[in-house]
């Protein structure tokens, strides 16, 4: 016998049962990893009045004006506005702030249907190019009540400073 024949005689293959168990384990682990990875793309659904809250943002109607440091907002629609984000633009940069942190008097439970708000904005210098108001809604999810910031491009309201 030559060396090659001796080498192949002493090699032993993996048992078909062990190979099958290893393949099944590999498939299950891969499936779990893909499932957890995909689950990260799908966020928790927030609803309001039985509708997805992103669709409720389309029903938000409000008007606003800004003059002399005072901001005036009225809720002209049927959807309560829980809060408001402000995107303040100055000289090529911007900063997003929460309205309730910049002024006193924003209602704790939000701006109800037909409600109005007026307040002096603190932290605004007057040199802003524009202020964009972005509505924030309150909805419910599996883990309780959560806030949702509507899309700025579709639902933002620009107020010239």
Render pLDDT for 115-155 as a digit per residue (tens, 0 to 9): 999 888 776 666 667 888 999 999 888 888 888 999 999 99
Question: With contact defined as beta carbons under 8 Å apart, do 152 and 134 qualify?
Answer: yes
Q: Which helix (H) or strand (E) covers residue 158, if one does?
A: strand 157-160
5-21 as b/e: b if 16+ CB within 10 A: eeeeeeeeeeeeeeeee
DSSP state letter for 58: G
Render pLDDT for 41-72 as a digit per residue (tens, 0 to 9): 776 678 887 888 888 899 999 999 888 778 89
Lowest mean pLDDT among 5-19, 96-110, 114-128: 5-19
pTM of model > 0.85: no
Render pLDDT for 114-124 as a digit per residue (tens, 0 to 9): 999 988 877 66
Category of 68 on φ-ψ map: left (φ > 0), alpha (ψ -120 to 50) or beta: left
Q: Which residues contact 127 (CB under 8 A, 6 or more apart)?
A: 90, 91
């Amino acid at each position: 016998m030559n060396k090659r024949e001796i080498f192949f005689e002493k090699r032993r293959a993996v048992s078909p049962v062990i190979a099958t168990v290893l393949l099944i384990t590999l498939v299950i682990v891969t499936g779990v990893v893909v499932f957890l990875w995909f689950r990260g793309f799908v966020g928790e659904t927030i609803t309001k009045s039985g509708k997805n809250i992103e669709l409720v943002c389309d029903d938000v109607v409000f008007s606003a004006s800004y003059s002399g440091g005072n901001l005036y907002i009225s809720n002209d629609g049927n959807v309560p506005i829980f809060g408001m984000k402000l995107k303040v633009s100055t000289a090529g940069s911007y900063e997003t702030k929460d309205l309730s942190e910049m002024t006193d008097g924003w209602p704790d439970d939000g701006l109800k249907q037909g409600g109005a708000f007026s307040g002096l904005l603190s932290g605004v210098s007057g040199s802003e190019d524009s202020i964009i108001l972005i509505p924030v809604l309150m909805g419910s999810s599996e883990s309780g009540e959560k806030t949702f910031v509507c899309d700025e491009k579709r639902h933002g309201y620009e107020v010239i400073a």
